[in-house]
Structure 1
């Protein structure tokens, strides 16, 4: 099923096409038709499954542009996710003239958000706390709300937002449509759905193991004193554009960043003690490719949708399987392949083995030697070269013309590979 099969406006079809999407993902195929009919949805779907577009299309189809009051609210657990979701909604609605989308979250001056709200906004994307703040200040009227989306609902409840969420839902019109998306379905989520949704359709899209088929997962046992050396070898072996390294603590993040900088790596850090302005600045540098390595605590493991993250490295073993899935889900976005590596010291083996039981794709490997690093780099080049197998006839002729007994096609290929590696 592609997006042209949905009963949606030409403006949205055109915008989706401009974004490079043609075929709908499973969550989009299952959620969009029913959501377009006004049915409440409760969907279990992992980050990276395409759920943002799955709820954005039905939400935008209901917007009446001449009415400048808020008609939809999307609640998200973090500032980062708010910004990304608002950006995605704006892209999907880019062909809808005069559509206004606003992200509201803490860490940004409330006056600026207030001024935009007063001018008129159709879709508000916000963290529960900041949404409540605007409601209490009289900046945000809920009387015209037709759609409420709870994105990453389980994370919002874990962060203690239940009371805020319930207050927002209770203050919106009873006839609203409620779309709930969550990676897991604990009892709290089910209770929330039962209380605030009307005969919702339950959708479950792929379990965690099925959702990460294109992520090559390796684990490397090492002494804790050798962890940093192991990390640098993996970075050298997989010489890629963007690497995201996860640590369990701010102290560990600072250690890794400091010592990578000493080795002249292009690196920066992200953790919860930083101001929102500082975090935004770092994220923009990483997103734009101005730094190649980002070292982060789990503050960055949810909701950050960054295209082109090639490798995820768990410098510290995460606390549980869910955290592991959320971390490695930062790579292999939009159908691309990716790598996920975990460094496991002796005191982390027990915790890691628990994670490994529910993630069968993890394979133990040895940390590569210097000779193996060269072999890995050459293999990655060749794998990339194999993608260019079309229209090679003229090049084949040149190779055949230049080969001889002393320098055959194999030697020519080896020499070319050597030239690429050394440059």
Structure 2
């Protein structure tokens, strides 16, 4: 189905067209018509399936602009995802005059959020903790809420937000529409659905292709003491513009980032203990290319969507298949190719083998590149760039200079220049 086939306003259709979307994804195709009918939904779909548009389009379609009190609330597990969802909703509603959406999350001054809430917003997107904070302060009244969305419900419950979610749901009208989206449906998610939804329509999108086909996946076995050295070899050998390194703990993130800095790599880190201001600053540096390596934990990186990440490196083997899929899905965005490398120490081997068994695509086991191989890779890259210049660039000015100053065939001076580039 195309978006133009949907029974939605022309303003929303135009905004979606401007965003570059034409055809609906499976979750959108199945969920949007049912949500437009007013049904409660349980949508099971993986990261990157297009679920934000699946719930955002029907929610915006229902908004009554003259009423400036919140008519929809969307709960997300992290600040980053809250910001991303709010941004998508803002784009979808960009053609609707006076439509307002606000993201509320911890780590940002509460006063600024309070002022915007007092002026009036139609949709609130936020983390459960900060939403409750605003409710308790009297900044947020949910009496007019018609739609509640639990986005990445499994993540929220895993992070201990069950009590907060229930408190928020109990403060919304009983006749509300409740939409639940989750990559997995464990028992905790089922309990929430049974308690707070009315005859929900269950929509499951089969994840036939567990990974993006354009991701080349490699694993590298190593001793724990040699893991960092192996990491630096991979970074040098693949000479990437943007790389994202995943660690399982804050301690591991700090260790990797600190030692990469000592090796003069342009690197920064991202984990849950940082203030929101610091995290925003780091993200902007990564998006702008001011740093080329970002070291992060799973929770801190949830919701990241950066188009040009070329390489994902699992410095620590993730805890399960879903975390692995989520991590490697940060590369090969927008149809581009990408690499996913996993460093596997002996005590992680059993966990890694369990992940490999679960149909996640082909992972080729490789050896770390030797110093000689790294040098050869660098030389080939320099020569390729030079050859591209020969084919595309105007070199006459430089050729004339060399002819005047140098009478040989040029191979020895080319070799000297190559040596200078490699050893600089």
What range describes the TM-score normalised by the shorter chain of this pair? 0.7 to 0.9
Give the conservation status (yes or no) of the 8 Å contact 1:48–1:305.
no
Deviating above 6 A after TM superposition, structure 1's stretches of 4 or more consecutive aligned residues are 374-384
Name the counterpart of 1:97.
97
| Structure 1 residue 90: Cα displacement | 0.6
Give the conservation status (yes or no) of the 8 Å contact 2:253–2:295.
yes
Give the conservation status (yes or no) of the 8 Å contact 2:40–2:200.
yes
Name the counterpart of 1:278.
278
Look up the SS of the partner of 1:74 in the other structure: strand
Look up the SS of the partner of 1:309 in the other structure: coil
Name the counterpart of 2:146.
146
Give the conservation status (yes or no) of the 8 Å contact 2:211–2:361.
no
How many angstroms apart in 1 are the aligned matches of 2:155 and 2:381? 36
Name the counterpart of 1:87.
87
| Structure 1 residue 28: Cα displacement | 1.4
Show the 5 A alignment for 1:58-69: 58-69=58-69
How many angstroms apart in 2 are the aligned matches of 1:382 and 1:39? 61
| Structure 1 residue 326: Cα displacement | 2.2
Look up the SS of the partner of 1:118 in the other structure: helix
How many angstroms apart in 1 are the aligned matches of 2:21 and 2:370? 41
Name the counterpart of 1:29.
29
Give the conservation status (yes or no) of the 8 Å contact 1:224–1:346.
yes
Name the counterpart of 1:13.
13
Name the counterpart of 1:55.
55
Q: CA RMSD in A?
A: 2.6
Look up the SS of the partner of 2:48 in the other structure: coil
How many angstroms apart in 2 are the aligned matches of 1:378 and 1:73? 55
Give the conservation status (yes or no) of the 8 Å contact 2:271–2:297.
yes
Look up the SS of the partner of 1:294 in the other structure: strand
Show the 5 A alignment for 1:109-188: 109-188=109-188
| Structure 1 residue 215: Cα displacement | 2.2
Residues 332-368 of structure 1: CA deviation (Å, up to 9, x unaligned): 3344432211011222212211111113422212222
How many angstroms apart in 1 are the aligned matches of 2:334 and 2:63? 27
Give the conservation status (yes or no) of the 8 Å contact 1:214–1:336.
yes
| Structure 1 residue 260: Cα displacement | 1.7
Name the counterpart of 2:196.
196
CA 34–372 in structure 1, closer or farther in 2 if over 3 Å, else same: farther
Q: In terms of mean alpha carbon deviation, does 81-90 or 213-222 score higher?
A: 213-222
How many angstroms apart in 2 are the aligned matches of 1:115 and 1:335? 41
Residues 278-311 of structure 1: CA deviation (Å, up to 9, x unaligned): 1121112112222111011222242222222221
Residues 219-267 of structure 1: CA deviation (Å, up to 9, x unaligned): 0112223222221222223233221001122232222212222222211
| Structure 1 residue 154: Cα displacement | 0.6
Give the conservation status (yes or no) of the 8 Å contact 1:48–1:333.
no
Show the 5 A alignment for 1:334-349: 334-349=334-349
Q: Which consecutive residues of structure 1, in runs of 5 or more, have no partner in the other structure?
A: 385-393, 396-414
**Paired residues, number:** 391
Name the counterpart of 2:331.
331
How many angstroms apart in 2 are the aligned matches of 1:375 and 1:204? 48
CA 213–378 in structure 1, closer or farther in 2 if over 3 Å, else same: farther
CA 197–172 in structure 1, closer or farther in 2 if over 3 Å, else same: same
How many angstroms apart in 2 are the aligned matches of 1:374 and 1:16? 47
Residues 189-218 of structure 1: CA deviation (Å, up to 9, x unaligned): 111112211221111123375353332211
Give the conservation status (yes or no) of the 8 Å contact 1:301–1:330.
no
Name the counterpart of 1:407.
none
Q: Which consecutive residues of structure 2, in runs of 5 or more, have no partner in the other structure?
A: 386-390, 393-413
Name the counterpart of 2:230.
230
Q: In terms of mean alpha carbon deviation, does 216-225 or 363-372 score higher?
A: 363-372
CA 215–245 in structure 1, closer or farther in 2 if over 3 Å, else same: same
| Structure 1 residue 181: Cα displacement | 0.5
How many angstroms apart in 1 are the aligned matches of 2:164 and 2:238? 44
